Amino acid sequence: MSVDQLKENPAVKWSWSVRTPSGEEFGVTNVDYVSAMSSWSQLRDETADDVLKGKMSFLENSFGVIGSYSDGYRIQTSAQCPRTRGNEIHWCPRRGEGGPGPNIAKDGDRWDSFPNGQRVCSYCGSLHPDDMLALMSDHGLAAIEPTTKGYKWYIARPFAAVNASLGPIKYYRMHDTPELLEKLKELVEALPKTSGE
């Protein structure tokens, strides 16, 4: 999902905030793109602070996914896609790795869904294995970032969200299912063989 598509998605909520070296604060939280951009543009156009104007103009092309902390200015912009709390309960296999510990979620973990239907584990943030399988069925190994190694796959850029607040960006292999492993085997076996056996 590109930033341009996000602008048109009413489910996405936009925020920005500015704090100047003298402690002045501006911003809005969780509004639609048009309102966020209109209040942002108003400050950029009307401020008498040329340093601030310059910084805001520079950040504008990546509005929603970028911020800046420099020269005493703190400028943040963000976009967030709300998740729907899932009813399907599981126990995230990553709970065995330490951290908060297995006894914290008395009710188990959930698969929360983004507006596009993709589900993520409420504990580790992994894409649901069936949704990963769907990406692999549609796009083959191209669905996985080629630099990915080991237990954590990054979803390849064209199929991943811009960042984790907006949708799934990774898949943890601890969530593997037999169906996903079968698909992976099939895709790897279909790769052209390298010469020299």
For Zn ion, the binding residues (CB under 5 A) are 92, 94, 121, 123-124, 126
Q: How far is the CB of 126 from Zn ion (least distance, A)?
A: 5
Nearer to Zn ion, 69 or 151 (CB): 151
Shortest distance, position 125 Cβ to Zn ion, whole Å? 7
Q: How far is the CB of 159 from Zn ion (least distance, A)?
A: 19
The answer to whether the CB of 150 falls within 8 A of the CB of 105 is: no
Nearer to Zn ion, 31 or 174 (CB): 174
Nearer to Zn ion, 55 or 94 (CB): 94
Residue 65's nearest CA partner among 169, 145, 143 is 169
Residue 132's Cβ-count burial label (10 Å; 0-12, 13-18, 19+) is: buried
Smallest separation, CB 8 to Zn ion (Å)? 31
Q: What angle do CA 143, 130, 102 make, to 5 degrees?
A: 110
Nearer to Zn ion, 124 or 155 (CB): 124
